[in-house]
Chain A
Amino acid sequence: MAYLEFTGITKTYPGVKALSDVSFGVEKGAVHGLMGENGAGKSTLIKILSGDLHANEGRISIDGQEQKYASTGDAFDNGVIVIHQELQLVPELTVAENLTLGRFPATSGVISRRRMIDEVSARLKSAGIEVDPRRKVKSLSIGERQMVEIAKAVMLDARVIALDEPTSSLSSHESEVLFKMIDKLRAEGKVILYVSHRMDEIFRLCDSMTVLRDGRMAAHHPSMEGLTREQIVAEMVGREISDIWGYRPRVQGNVRLKVENLSGSRLKAPASFEVRAGEILGFFGLIGAGRSELMRLIYGADPRHTGVLTLDGATVAADDPHGMIRAGLVLCTEDRKHDGIIQGRSIAENINISSRRHSAHAGILNRAKEVETAETYIKKLRVRTPSRHQDIINLSGGNQQKVILGRWLSEQGIRVLIIDEPTRGIDVGAKSEIYDLLYQLAEDGMAIVVVSSELPEVMGICDRLMVMCEGRINAEVARDDFRENQILAAALPDKAVPQSMTLS
């Protein structure tokens, strides 16, 4: 039995199996890579390890002892430390204070600063981290903070350290320092789980690896010897596309929306593309590839630095959502909770918020018309709810998404619909309904842009695909040329893009 052992881990949500019978082991002093597409179950597994989630079946053992954690604090006390992308440090405190938080060296309540600094300095030094313990965490770079976070793991004598995409915000130099630390931890006999999308890091660091796909073990490699990049990609994507997509070809019209050299503070490289009437254009990329940022710029949700938008041949002057809606372009955002639904307000309110301007006279509402609009879209989109008065917060994710679609479908003169992660957190049945709706809208001549980090989804429903990676449009692929491994390769942050791809 290996030092860290997962046995038959299964996690189900209503309607979805997030993890199904995942079993593998990692030896002491080994770095184990965990790869898989977005939604494959990596984060779920890490969360179960850290006590954040509880598995429905299966068990985790460390050093032969079964581990049962009630909370993350519990896992922490048992030497399991997870380092997330968002770090858990107190910015206003110093490095030393952060590293001794909860157990300050003190005499009858008075902290001995010198003892604290000495203790932390010694630890940092032995770990090879060059950070002044007297500095406040908020003055550190992201990379330095990551180091401090890892130092925390070292100081607490962790047995198992899981790193979730640790290099996503690090420079290459900072990454290299991180890798050296990981090598050191390995030499000290820790178990390290390393989650990453970056193939080169996996090959640089890992002794063994597991590939997850749709919550199942797609492959387990006890050794990295003889493994190739291509093989891993194949294992990540090698699934059969079942036909929940119900794709229907359509007649496409003229260019509806043309985006030229659009950039903003979170999307530095200017992006350009166009989409035709009746077309469903997909945007694929890993999380952080800049897709949502691009869509927010188009919609005027974030300030644009450069760029010109043309709708049906006419330049769009509007630069905020208010104006873009009037120009005929709308966005369903990715994070429904944060910037989609209006909590505490009814379904009817959420549907009518924008389109009520058409029925209101001199700012006074036409209540009868609003009731009619709400009822129409609740029925048309099959929103499952006892009544239109229901607070939107009480609906399931799929039904919330439908209400937001109803908000935009009840608007008049919408020519472009951008929909970011249309089916995130939505069960399979509702997914098909939403796809079907998108086809209908496209058939009626709307131009539709679908953003998704689920490759099968964009491949299933889109006519054409733009692949983004690290803030740039990396490739453009027509439906006939959709090949999973090539699209994924273009989305992975690596310089080498296969020659067979059509570069934009």
Chain B
Amino acid sequence: MKKLLLGEQGLLVIFVVAFALVAIFVPNFLTERNMLGLLQSVVTVGIVACTMMLCLAARDFDLSVGSTVAFTGMVAVMVSNGSGSILLGIAAALAAGTVVGWLNGFVIAKFHINALITTLATMQIVRGLALISSDGRAVGINDPAFFNIALSKFLTIPTPIWVMVALFVIFGFILNHTVFGKNVLAIGGNPEASRLAGVKVDRTRIYIFALQGLVCAIAGILLASRITSGQPNAAVGLELSVISACVLGGVSLAGGRATMTGVIVGVMIMGIAENAMNLLNIPAFYQYIVRGVILLLAVLLDNLRSRALGRR
């Protein structure tokens, strides 16, 4: 039992058991409609978790993702409305996200400022930018074609889910099959040793954050399309859900340990918990408590697993 839970596949076991229990005991859970709804509901968290995984694996931290998602969604809507071109809006959002991420990375890597503090600052700055640019109000989308990003389907499955799956595949590949991915894990394992082994540590960290910003923009565009507007207050608290999902997925906060499958499972566990609570009509207030407890359990599990692996 202990081996099963703390070993390599422990998470998958927990996931399968949780899934089976929920499927049996929660009515209407295992329906096509609810399954698609469940996947839709984790799109934002799932997409951002791809790069948060890299960030945590390199011993860094990013609190600014929620603000960046809201800000880039806002940029996408406002630029589309202003220019009449959705493509231009999307491009502007992707660029804005990348710039925010790059700035985070630059400050953290070059000035050696703690990632927690840096992104705590940018989290507020970027949220402020989103509020200022819209004067604090939601900005509706003019061109109905923008809605179609989220509404369109391919093989009966909505596009955002495809995007999330594609990113899972891409980042799984990046983590395991590229020099960049391996360098990220090495930096998390021992930054100084990695530097002395010839890894460009500063540059790699900047790339991680720039990618994080880019991926937040993708999530921001999809979210804006789904809620048919740019909302300056969108995705508040997203950073915590994403970090919870990653930690739940076995990403070590001490760095150096991460798997894409683990993160996917982490995201799904979070999604299932929320979905099941909604189906059971558990009031939203109580859901906060459950989410907190899940995070706490995740950290405890991480701790136990680290000890089982003989690391401090």
Instruction: Give me the interface of A with B, judged by CB distance under 8 Å.
Output: 299, 301, 321-322, 325-326, 331, 333, 338-345, 349, 352-354, 356-357, 360, 363-365, 367, 391, 393-394, 407
Contacts and interface: CB of A to CB of B under 8 A. Distances in A.
A367 B177 contact: yes
Given A322-B200, A393-B311, A356 B190 contact: no
A342 B189 contact: yes
B180 interface: yes
Specify which of B198, B199, B200, B310 lies most central, judged by the most chain A CB atoms within 10 Å of its CB.
B198
A218 B241 CA distance: 65
Interface in B1-33: none
Contacts of A354: 197-199
Given A321-B198, A364-B177, 16 more contacts: A321-B197, A326-B198, A339-B192, A341-B190, A343-B256, A343-B311, A345-B189, A349-B185, A352-B182, A353-B183, A353-B194, A354-B199, A357-B179, A360-B179, A363-B178, A363-B180
Interface of B: 177-180, 182-183, 185-186, 188-190, 192-200, 252, 255-257, 309-311
B182 A301 contact: no
Contacts of A353: 182-183, 186, 194, 197-199
Contacts of A301: 195-196
24 contacts: A321-B195, A321-B196, A338-B192, A339-B190, A341-B193, A342-B186, A342-B193, A342-B197, A343-B189, A344-B188, A344-B257, A345-B186, A349-B182, A349-B185, A349-B186, A352-B182, A353-B183, A354-B197, A354-B198, A360-B178, A363-B178, A364-B177, A364-B179, A391-B310
Nearest to A392: B189
Specify which of A331, A339, A357, A393 lies most central, judged by the most chain B CB atoms within 10 Å of its CB.
A339
A344 B302 CA distance: 14
Contact of A299 (B179, B193, B196, B199): B196
Nearest to B173: A364
A393 B311 CA distance: 8
A299 B194 CA distance: 14
Contacts of A321: 195-198
A325 B198 CA distance: 7
Contacts of B186: 342, 345, 349, 353
A344 B194 contact: no
A15 B280 CA distance: 64
A389 to B, nearest CB: 11
Contacts of A363: 178-180
Given A331-B196, A353-B197, A344 B256 contact: yes
Contacts of A393: 310-311
Contacts of A345: 185-186, 189, 256
Specify which of A344, A349, A354, A365 lies most central, judged by the most chain B CB atoms within 10 Å of its CB.
A344
A365 B193 contact: no
A349 B57 CA distance: 15
A325 B195 CA distance: 11
Contacts of A367: 177
Contacts of B197: 321, 342, 353-354, 407
A348 B189 CA distance: 14
Contact of B310 (A333, A357, A394): A394
B184 to A, nearest CB: 11
A337 B199 CA distance: 17
Nearest to A324: B198
Contacts of A364: 177-179
A364 B181 CA distance: 9
A190 B214 CA distance: 68
Specify which of B186, B200, B252 lies most central, judged by the most chain A CB atoms within 10 Å of its CB.
B186
A161 B257 CA distance: 45
Contact of A356 (B182, B193, B255): B182
Given A321-B195, A342-B194, A365 B179 contact: yes
A333 B194 CA distance: 12
A301 B191 CA distance: 13
Contacts of B177: 364-365, 367
Contacts of B198: 321-322, 325-326, 353-354
Contacts of B185: 345, 349
A364 B170 CA distance: 12
A353 B179 CA distance: 8
Nearest to A356: B179
Contacts of A326: 198
A338 B194 CA distance: 11
B199 to A, nearest CB: 7
Nearest to A341: B193
Specify which of B177, B179, B197 lies most central, judged by the most chain A CB atoms within 10 Å of its CB.
B197
A343 B311 CA distance: 9
A173 B185 CA distance: 49
The 4 closest A-B pairs by CB, nearest first: A344-B256, A342-B189, A325-B198, A339-B192
Nearest to B195: A321
A407 B190 CA distance: 15
B17 to A, nearest CB: 27
Contacts of B179: 356-357, 360, 363-365
A365 B87 CA distance: 34
Contacts of B199: 322, 353-354
